């Protein structure tokens, strides 16, 4: 870390700066920004301002070559994109957890499990706090730490081995009794609250930007190119599992956690981490932990409730997103109070007119919040938020800030209700509000605001995740006609970008690199990037599990779409409309052009044994429910359809099979009884 002052003034009154002084000031300034950008992941100035500093120094050095020794202008430039941590592919994907946002959703979780297993008994649950840090995987070979990686997007993370070696909590060698072969331990790297305050105080005193919460501080400290920075940060670790629970050779999660402790890993041992006989007991743990969360030395944002019996983990399996045998029960968000300064109407990528409140910035559970969506006209009316009101703010699911209500007692006199516009504030087209819908829309798909919003969404973290393409850059690309459709991004060159006013060499290369990486991102990201109504992240993931390319999806029929669990008539219609609309013709042609993009079709949990085989189920199976049978087929790459046809590969016939069996017999299809079906699965 540098210890140069935050701001060195260019010149003091009366004594003009000499070239040598100016060069020294610029060098210090540039080095400080290099450090902020590359080492601390928290730049203070935009790239173009950085480029101006660099150019100023270069000009000065050209005029006074004697000043050019040992300058950042002659040092090797750091890699574009800023990060040089190596990529690590996880052998088995690091999934996330389904969330339960209230007690009902926790009860729903147990109901889902029961339905899936076709069982009415009650289960034992292991509970453990949900640590608010960063998931990591530690690989051991012969009991020696050989590789450590971040979760990344679950499939690909970053190599953080040298940084992890500086964390005292993490064993470099395992105790006796630990497995001799390869072992993949998963857990959370976190920062204690006290260390977080200490670090921020120190940074503030040094004039550095402060971290918003312990989680960000832990992440920033771990993803360092220089391990000595990580070492100074005093990070901690809790283990919570293995990449494959079978490695522990135990029957329960509780025993697995004990073993991790014996092998040398720190495991959480407060009264919240324990085996519970049933869900009622787990709920009591949840309430206690929520009431006492502030007494813990580290941040927790919920309680992870997991079936204790590992043989049930096997049966329940996982979707491509999360295991079915665990749930993250989240705490109620923390609230804060602030004043509304303005209400603006924003036009979204589907034309939705959304009122957004801009507020006096305030910290809500550690994060600075200055704006919140009011969703739509009805919500705005219901909450009756007015400019000047004091409001209670929460962060729902600990991410999205939300205005819960107006503090009417503090309402200043004379505030008038907000009047919702009848026209699009950007293109003035009359807004349309369909019968039964809460949202008013600008119907003009060529409205500049919609085009810009679609471009921003295309690059969004949950879509193609292109770094450096935010609102400002999007607006600039459109204004200069470099991009008309989001897919035009794939035709840009660094040269094109460098010609733009605010772009420098570094920012141009960085964006081009981000775009190049996007070309081969997972198919679901491309689907989400299309901005189809009703098709968000989750639906995109489901669709990507059923279609292996955009082309295949674009040809899907209404029946094929609706045969998919979770895809209803509304979503299907929206997809069909999108793919049939001539307006999307060029856009789609680009995205199906293998010379421009090559989406990767990741079906992580698929072993592919039944790859693309079509199954139809009929009758009752004795050892598993329909849902379980279906999940086990899809987990191996097969598909389950509802009607028997010539195309069916197998009919699975349980007891009391009906007309489907007769049809299959007529068509001479392979018919599996339960025993044969299980054999095939295994």
Query: Using an 8 Å Cβ cutoff, are 264 and 175 in contact?
Result: yes
Q: Is 558 in the site for ligand IVH (CB under 6 A)?
A: no
Which residues, listed in sequence order, are joined to residue 147 by a DSSP beta bridge?
A: 139
- 323 near ligand IVH, rule: CB under 6 A: yes
Which backbone phi and psi does 523 adopt, to 5 degrees?
A: -55, -40
- Nearest approach, Cβ of 399 to ligand IVH (angstroms)? 13
Give the position of tokens 């550095």: 208
Show Cβ contacts of residue 571 under 8 Å, excluding neighbours closer than 6 positions. Answer: 534, 535, 539, 561
Burial class (CB in 10 A: 0-12, 13-18, 19+), 328: buried
**Residue partners of 209: CB distance under 8 A and separation at least 6:** 36, 40, 42, 44, 203
Q: Which residues in the 172-191 window bind ligand IVH by CB under 6 A?
A: 188
Selecting among 7, 24, 99, 130, the annotated active-site residue is 130
The CB-of-336 to ligand IVH minimum distance in angstroms stands at 24
Please choose, from the candidates 88, 91, 87, the residue with its C-alpha nearest in 3D space to the C-alpha of residue 247.
91
Positions in 208-247 near ligand IVH (CB under 6 A): 240-241
Contact 320, 327 (CB under 8 A): no
Q: Minimum CB separation from ligand IVH for residue 176, in Å?
A: 25
Cβ-based nearer residue to ligand IVH, 260 or 572: 260
Scan residues 370-389 and list those touching ligand IVH (CB under 6 A).
Answer: none
Least separation in angstroms between residue 511's CB and ligand IVH is: 28
Q: Which is nearer to ligand IVH, 96 or 493 (CB)?
A: 96
**Nearest residue (CB) to ligand IVH, 97 versus 522:** 97
Strand segments, DSSP code E, in 168-260 are 183-190, 236-242
The nearer residue to ligand IVH, 130 or 521, going by C-beta atoms, is: 130
- Which tokens go with 143? 């009991």
Nearer to ligand IVH, 131 or 331 (CB): 131
Q: What minimum distance in Å lies between the beta carbon of 541 and ligand IVH?
A: 16
Whole-number minimum distance, CB 417 to ligand IVH, in Å? 42
96 binds ligand IVH (CB under 6 A): yes
Closest distance between ligand IVH and the C-beta of residue 470, in Å?
Answer: 25
CA nearest to 124, candidates 292, 257, 288, 306: 306
Q: Rounded to the nearest whole angstrom, what is the least distance from the CB of residue 199 to ligand IVH in the complex?
A: 21
Sign, CA torsion 218/222/225/227 = positive
Nearer to ligand IVH, 75 or 244 (CB): 244
> Which residues are within 8 A (CB) of 483 and not within 5 positions of it... i.e. 6 or more apart?
455, 477, 489, 492
Using CB under 6 A, pick the residue from 163, 306, 528, 540 that binds ligand IVH. Answer: 306
Q: Is 128 in the site for ligand IVH (CB under 6 A)?
A: yes
Binding to ligand IVH by residue 490, rule CB under 6 A? no
Helix (H) or strand (E) segment spanning residue 304: strand 300-307
Size of the site for ligand IVH (CB under 6 A): 14
Residue among 154 and 179 whose Cβ is closer to ligand IVH: 154
CB closest to ligand IVH, residue no: 135
Q: Verify whether residue 472 is a known catalytic residue.
A: no
| 47-63 vs 505-518: helix crossing angle, rounded to 10 | 140
Contact by Cβ (8 Å): 489, 467: no
Spatial distance between the Cα atoms of 101 and 303, rounded to a whole number of angstroms:
11
For ligand IVH, the binding residue among 54, 135, 380, 529 (CB under 6 A) is 135
Return d(Cα 389, Cα 412) in angstroms, integer: 7
Beta-bridge partners for 441? 352, 432
**What is the distance between the terminal CA atoms of the chain, rounded to a whole angstrom?**
55
- The least distance separating ligand IVH from the CB of residue 238, rounded to whole angstroms, comes to 7
The torsion region of residue 177 among left (phi > 0), alpha (psi -120 to 50) and beta comes to: left
Applying the rule CB under 6 A, the residues between 261 and 300 that interact with ligand IVH are none
Minimum CB separation of residue 320 from ligand IVH in Å reads 14
Of residues 139 through 158, those in contact with ligand IVH by CB under 6 A are 151
Among 304, 535, 564, 572, binds ligand IVH (CB under 6 A): 304
* Cα–Cα nearest to 297, from 234, 209, 253, 362: 234
Q: What residue has token string 């097969």?
A: 638
Which of these ranges, 48-56, 129-137, 408-416, 520-528, lies near ligand IVH under the rule CB under 6 A?
129-137
CB of 244 vs ligand IVH, minimal distance in Å: 12
In angstroms, the CA 224 to CA 444 distance is 46
- Could you tell me which residues come within 8 angstroms of residue 268 by beta carbon, excluding any fewer than 6 positions away? 128, 129, 131, 238, 240
Q: Considering only 53-61, 64-72, 128-136, 373-381, which stretch makes contact with ligand IVH by CB under 6 A?
A: 128-136
Residues 39-68 touching ligand IVH, rule: CB under 6 A, are none
Give CA 216 to chain center in angstroms.
14
Nearer to ligand IVH, 133 or 638 (CB): 133
Distance CA 498, CA 508 (A): 6
Segment near ligand IVH (CB under 6 A); pick from 125-133, 388-396, 536-544, 631-639: 125-133
Q: Which of 23, 36, 67, 97 binds ligand IVH (CB under 6 A)?
A: 97
Q: Are 504 and 46 in contact (CB under 8 A)?
A: no
The window from 54-62, 127-135, 492-500, 556-564 that contacts ligand IVH (CB under 6 A) reads 127-135
* 130 versus 395: smaller Cβ distance to ligand IVH: 130
Q: Are 285 and 270 in contact (CB under 8 A)?
A: no
User: C-beta of 314: minimal distance to ligand IVH in Å?
Assistant: 13
Q: Which of 116, 131, 184, 578 binds ligand IVH (CB under 6 A)?
A: 131
Give whichever of 97 and 553 is closer to ligand IVH, judged by the CB atom: 97
CB 137 within 8 A of CB 185: yes
Question: Nearer Cβ to ligand IVH, position 137 or 452?
Answer: 137
Q: Which two tokens stand for residue 248?
A: 């522990």
Site string (513-552) toward ligand IVH, x via CB under 6 A = ----------------------------------------
The residue (of 295 and 668) whose beta carbon lies closer to ligand IVH is: 295
Within 8 A by CB and 6+ apart from 135, the residues are: 94, 150, 151, 186, 187, 188
What positions carry a catalytic annotation?
130
* Site of interaction with ligand IVH (CB under 6 A): 96-97, 128, 130-131, 135, 151, 188, 240-241, 304, 306, 323, 326
């Amino acid at each position: 870390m540098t210890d140069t002052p935050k701001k060195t003034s260019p010149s003091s009154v009366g004594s003009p700066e000499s070239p040598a002084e100016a060069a020294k000031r610029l060098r210090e300034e540039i080095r400080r920004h290099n450090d902020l950008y590359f080492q601390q992941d928290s730049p203070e100035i935009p790239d173009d301002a950085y480029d101006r500093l660099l150019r100023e120094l270069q000009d000065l050095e050209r005029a006074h070559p004697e000043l050019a020794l040992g300058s950042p202008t002659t040092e090797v430039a750091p890699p574009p994109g800023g990060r040089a941590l190596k990529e690590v592919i996880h052998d088995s994907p690091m999934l996330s957890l389904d969330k339960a946002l209230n007690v009902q959703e926790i009860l729903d979780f147990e109901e889902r499990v029961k339905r899936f297993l076709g069982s009415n008994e009650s289960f034992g649950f292991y509970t453990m706090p949900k640590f608010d840090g960063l998931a990591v995987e530690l690989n051991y070979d012969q009991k020696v730490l050989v590789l450590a990686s971040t979760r990344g997007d679950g499939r690909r993370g970053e190599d953080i081995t040298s940084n992890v070696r500086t964390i005292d909590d993490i064993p470099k060698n395992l105790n006796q009794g630990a497995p001799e072969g390869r072992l993949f331990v998963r857990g959370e790297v976190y920062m204690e609250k006290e260390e977080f305050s200490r670090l921020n105080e120190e940074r503030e005193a040094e004039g550095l930007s402060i971290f918003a919460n312990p989680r960000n501080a832990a992440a920033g400290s771990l993803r360092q190119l220089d391990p000595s920075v990580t070492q100074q940060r005093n990070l901690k670790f809790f283990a919570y599992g293995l990449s494959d629970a079978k490695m522990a050779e135990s029957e329960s999660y509780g025993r697995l956690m004990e073993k991790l402790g014996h092998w040398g890993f720190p495991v959480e041992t407060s009264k919240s981490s324990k085996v519970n006989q049933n869900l009622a007991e787990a709920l009591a743990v949840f309430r206690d932990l929520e009431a006492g969360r502030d007494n813990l030395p580290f941040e927790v944002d919920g309680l992870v409730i997991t079936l204790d019996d590992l043989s049930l983990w096997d049966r329940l399996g996982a979707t491509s997103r999360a295991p079915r045998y665990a749930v993250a029960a989240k705490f109620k968000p923390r609230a804060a109070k602030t004043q509304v300064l303005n209400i603006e109407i924003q036009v979204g990528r589907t034309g939705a007119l959304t009122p957004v409140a801009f507020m006096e910035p305030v910290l809500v559970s550690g994060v600075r919040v200055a704006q919140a969506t009011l969703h739509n006209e009805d919500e705005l009316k219901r909450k009756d938020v007015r400019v000047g009101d004091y409001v209670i703010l929460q962060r729902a699911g600990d991410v999205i800030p939300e205005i819960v209500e107006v503090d009417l007692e503090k309402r200043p006199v004379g505030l008038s209700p907000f009047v919702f516009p009848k026209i699009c504030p950007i293109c003035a087209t009359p807004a349309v509000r369909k019968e039964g819908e809460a949202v008013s829309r600008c119907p003009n798909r060529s409205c500049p605001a919609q085009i810009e919003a679609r471009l921003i969404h295309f690059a969004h973290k949950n879509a193609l995740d292109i770094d450096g393409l935010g609102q400002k850059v999007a607006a600039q690309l459109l204004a200069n006609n470099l991009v008309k459709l989001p897919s035009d991004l794939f035709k840009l060159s660094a040269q094109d970008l460098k010609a733009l006013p605010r772009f420098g060499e570094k920012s141009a290369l960085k964006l081009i690199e981000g775009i190049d990486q996007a070309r081969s991102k997972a198919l679901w990201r491309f689907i989400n990037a299309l901005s189809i109504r009703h098709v968000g992240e989750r639906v995109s993931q489901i669709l990507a599990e059923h279609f292996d390319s955009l082309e295949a999806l674009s040809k899907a029929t209404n029946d094929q779409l609706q045969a998919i669990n979770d895809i209803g008539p509304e979503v299907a219609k929206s997809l069909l409309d999108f793919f049939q609309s001539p307006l999307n013709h060029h856009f789609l042609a680009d995205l199906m052009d293998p010379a421009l993009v090559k989406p990767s079709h990741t079906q992580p949990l698929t072993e592919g044994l039944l790859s693309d085989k079509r199954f139809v189920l009929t009758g009752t199976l004795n050892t598993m429910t329909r849902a379980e049978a279906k999940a086990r087929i899809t987990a191996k790459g097969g598909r389950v359809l509802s009607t028997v046809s010539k195309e069916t590969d197998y009919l699975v016939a349980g007891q009391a099979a009906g007309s489907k069996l007769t049809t299959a017999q007529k068509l001479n299809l392979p018919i599996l009884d339960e025993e044969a079906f299980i054999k095939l699965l295994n």
